[in-house]
Amino acid sequence: MDDPQCKAIICSRGGYGTIRIADQLNFEKFKEAPKWLIGFSDITVLHAYFQKYGFCSIHGPMPGFYLNDDQPTESYRQLVQLISGNLPAYSFDQAQLNKTGNATGELCGGNLSIVYSLLGTPQQIETNNKILFIEDLSEYLYHLDRMMYGLKQSDSLKNLKALLVGSFTDMKDNDSPFGQSVEEIILNAVKDYKFPCFLQLSVRTYRRKYAAPFRTKLLAN
């Protein structure tokens, strides 16, 4: 973080553990020579810290997603374009349950489990007048319901400009089914709000593929 010659910090993987070191980071010298932070999953903790101190970061692919059959993936190509200064334009297929509308704002969020775990801490993600992006992996449906209501009851959804919902991959259910799909759980949590909600964005696919990176200060329509 302190090296003035370094232009980007690319995290090697996610998993767990970032929360145990994040509060030891010192941004004083970083302010003199800011650089990109790139990663997803558990790296959402670092994205929250970067936003707290007023810096942009990239929710984007890590090295394990740079090659597919020894060829550069599209996500890697887009990442190179992005950190080279070429901001890509995004378009998404229209999901049937989308709450349509227009919104412009700063983009925040990341892995939903991490966003939820930061509620009530100094690093709680500030969502007022922002576009919130969420995605997750291998969670139980009732956990998803708990997290969405945690966001709602903490007023993290109250003043959003829009909600972008990425892939919720390999979600699990109990022997006694929860009774709602991912989309139904999320829409039920935001039904009292008027902001647009876009579902099923192609942000996470596996088998060595990963969709386009997101930048935390991106004007989105």
Average pLDDT value for the chain: 89
Tokens 């670092």 correspond to 46
Rg of the chain over Cα atoms, rounded to whole angstroms, equals 17
Helices (H), the chain: 44-52, 74-83, 112-117, 141-153, 182-190
pLDDT digits (tens, 9 = 90+) for 119-167: 999 999 999 999 999 999 999 999 999 999 999 999 999 999 999 999 9
**Domain-wise residue ranges, the chain:** 8-89, 106-198
The architecture (CATH level 2) of 8-89 comes to: 3-Layer(aba) Sandwich (3.40)
Per-residue model confidence (pLDDT) at position 202: 74
Dihedral over alpha carbons 127, 131, 137, 139 (to 10 degrees): 50
* Spatial separation of the C-alpha atoms in residues 209 and 200, rounded to whole Å: 16
Q: Are 48 and 40 in contact (CB under 8 A)?
A: no
What's the predicted TM-score (pTM) here?
0.88
With bands split at pLDDT 50, 70 and 90, how would you rate the model's confidence at 219? very low
- Which option is the CATH number for 106-198: 3.30.500.10, 2.40.50.100, 1.20.120.530, 3.50.30.60? 3.50.30.60
pLDDT digits (tens, 9 = 90+) for 13-26: 999 999 999 999 99
Longest Cα–Cα distance of the chain, Å, equals 55
CA 109 to mean position of chain CA atoms: 4
